[in-house]
């Protein structure tokens, strides 16, 4: 794997101006990678800016598969406590134990909104407040949609909330193109079955200048977590050592990287003219993407709030 100097979270923190060309290229690469992941039968379950690695040429890679899961592996043991709270899909916030790869699409939509507006869309303080933030932004879903996902307590809570109309995305993001807003609207759909899929999103008009049919036609064997090879402690130590040696040899501050130049030459024509991203002083550091200390609310908290909702 090539050295990736930073991540999308750090890029957003710098406050540097990103053109719509940047946003198109970022979102297309994320979707392209997710298409491979989903085609192998895997849900990433942690799509956040911190898990999108970036280099100065605007190349992206998805990392941190620590929470990934086989999509076919559904059941009561499936936890809804995945991904950072601000990027959790409604079905996760509402404690639905049976969810699909569509939770990753919601994560991409949240990132798209953050790229367009330079701030996170749904900054909830706890599970209940997170659901409030989602409804405040996307509007109140139909009763049919509410009844089809989540726990009974979460459904009751949502039904007692005051009605919120669907947003006028053009007023929220006045500088965004109609195509960008349409893709955002299709990604941030409350019901997962009505949400745009990764394959459909790759073909969306917002990404037409980057789209190639081969990016959607993926033939890949399903990944089997049960067949993964478990390494001994000694093998892990050697793997870390080998990776450290490889990193030092190819470090951009100590050696040229012809392989990166070769890769950059293969970028789509629409991306070749993009300005580089300023990554000075923004080296990626090790981090835990799920906040260990965050206070989560379960079904009993939804029950507690039902009586106090207007």
The question of whether 46 is a catalytic residue gets the answer: yes
- CA atoms within 13 Å, Cβ hemisphere of 304: 7
Read off the tokens for 239: 């793997």
Q: Give me the phi and psi of 183, to 5 degrees please.
A: -65, -40
Read off the tokens for 107: 């994560």
Taking the C-alpha atoms of residue 131 and residue 94, their distance in angstroms, rounded to an integer, is: 8
Residue of 2, 7, 46, 278 with catalytic role: 46
Q: Are strands 52-54 and 69-70 parallel, antiparallel or unpaired?
A: unpaired
Closest CA to 108 of 131, 74, 83, 126: 83
- Partners of 309 in beta bridges: none
Note whether 174 and 146 are within 8 A (CB): no
Say which residues have a Cβ less than 8 Å from residue 60's Cβ, sequence separation at least 6: 8, 26, 29, 30, 33, 52, 53, 54
Catalytic residue ranges: 46
């Amino acid at each position: 794997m090539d050295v990736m100097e930073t991540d999308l979270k750090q890029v957003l923190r710098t406050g540097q101006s990103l053109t719509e060309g940047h946003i198109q290229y970022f979102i297309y690469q994320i979707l392209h990678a997710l298409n491979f992941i989903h085609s192998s039968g895997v849900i990433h379950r942690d799509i956040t800016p911190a898990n999108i690695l970036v280099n100065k040429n605007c190349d992206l890679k998805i990392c941190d598969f620590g929470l990934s899961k086989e999509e076919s592996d559904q059941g009561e043991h499936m936890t809804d406590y995945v991904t950072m709270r601000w990027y959790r899909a409604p079905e996760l916030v509402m404690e639905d134990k049976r969810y699909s790869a569509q939770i990753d699409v919601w994560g991409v939509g949240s990132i798209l909104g953050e790229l367009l507006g330079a701030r996170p869309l749904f900054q909830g303080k706890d599970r209940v407040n997170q659901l409030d933030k989602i409804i405040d932004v996307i509007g109140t879903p139909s009763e049919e949609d509410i009844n089809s996902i989540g726990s009974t307590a979460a459904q009751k809570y949502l039904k007692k909330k005051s009605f919120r109309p669907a947003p006028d995305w053009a007023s929220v993001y006045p500088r965004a193109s109609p195509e960008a807003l349409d893709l955002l609207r299709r990604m941030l759909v409350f019901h997962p079955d009505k949400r745009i899929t990764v394959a459909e999103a790759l073909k969306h008009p917002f990404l037409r200048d980057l789209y190639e049919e081969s990016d959607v036609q993926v033939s890949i064997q399903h990944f089997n977590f049960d067949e993964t090879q478990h390494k001994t402690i000694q093998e892990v130590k050697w793997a870390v050592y080998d990776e450290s040696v490889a990193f030092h040899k190819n470090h951009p501050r100590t050696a040229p990287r012809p392989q990166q130049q070769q890769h950059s030459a293969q970028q789509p024509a629409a991306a070749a003219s993009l300005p580089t991203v300023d990554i000075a002083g923004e080296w990626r550091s090790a981090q835990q993407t799920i906040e260990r200390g965050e206070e989560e609310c379960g079904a009993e908290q939804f029950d507690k709030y039902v009586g106090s909702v207007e």
